[in-house]
Amino acid sequence: MKWTDSREIAIQLSEKFPDTDPSTIRFTDLRDWVLALDGFNDDPQHCGEKILEAIQMTWIDEAE
């Protein structure tokens, strides 16, 4: 999984943290959680605010 796989990342995050409201997550925490996901193997340096925002918005969509 790469940073650009926002849908797959969001699905895995929603399964791993079912009681978490994704709209309240700080980007620093979100980055750490993504890096810890099974199957995630992208360069941590390739992550920026736009990527984290896309993941967060997709996770919010998944939660609804």
In the chain, the amino acid numbered 46 is: H
The yes-or-no verdict on residue 42 having pLDDT over 90 is: yes
What is the tens place of the pLDDT at every residue in 14-37?
Answer: 999 999 999 999 999 999 999 999
The yes-or-no verdict on residue 43 having pLDDT over 90 is: yes
What pLDDT does residue 36 have? 97
Give the C-alpha separation, 18 to 45, whole Å.
Answer: 27
CATH of 6-63, one of 1.10.10.60, 1.10.10.600, 3.30.1490.20, 3.40.1410.10: 1.10.10.600
pTM, entire model: 0.92
**What's the Rg (C-alpha) of the chain?**
10
Q: Say if residues 24 and 60 touch (Cβ distance below 8 Å).
A: no
